[in-house]
Amino acid sequence: MTQILSSPILRLDQSWAYKVTVLADLLARRVTAIVQEASGLNLSQWRVLAAIGDQPGRTASEVVKITPMDKGIVSRGVTSLAQKELITRRASETDGRLSHLYLTETGEAIYQAIVEKLHRAGLIDVGLLTEGETESLLELLQQAIQASRERDEPRL
């Protein structure tokens, strides 16, 4: 059925954007707690660690691209992780501006331990949804992300 009223209505409990927001916040709180307890890292430090663990050799700006983080935050994350000796920077030989990032042995251990805990907490796989549901959720989310990225500067 189509909209009857002339002005659009915001029904929070029917807004996908709102639900995504609420869910993301719940997830962030749980991940933060787990990461904090397991390693003392904060959420953005963990995100940087995870992005590197996910694909070693990434540069800071690549981390920014795949992550919902400001480059300032990533920069600070990289610095502090390097100080804690969880990652190392290796300057690129072909481009003096960037360095590739790798987990140290300690970093790898912490990374694995946290992944394990997140896994058990159902924050990686989805124990709650069936395999098919998960798949379609992933697809829908990806579409929404893409669309949101494309729309990003439509000068409203």
Positions that interact with DNA (CB under 7 A): 25, 29, 32-33, 42-44, 59-62, 69-76, 78-79, 94-99
CA-CA distance, 87 to 103, in Å (whole number)? 4
Residue 109 binds which of its own copies, DNA, none (CB < 5-8 A, kind-dependent): none
The region of 75-83, 90-98, 101-109, 137-145 touching its own copies under the rule CB under 8 A is 137-145
DSSP string over 75-141: HHHHHHHHHTTSEEEEE-SS-TT-EEEEE-HHHHHHHHHHHHHHHHTTSSS-SSS-HHHHHHHHHHH
Residue 112 binds which of its own copies, DNA, none (CB < 5-8 A, kind-dependent): its own copies
**Least CB distance from residue 49 to DNA, whole Å?**
13
Q: How far is the CB of 75 from its own copies (least distance, A)?
A: 17
Residue 84 interacting entry, from its own copies, DNA, none, C-beta within 5 to 8 Å by type = none
Separation of CA 77 from chain center: 13
- Per DSSP, the three-state class of 64 is helix
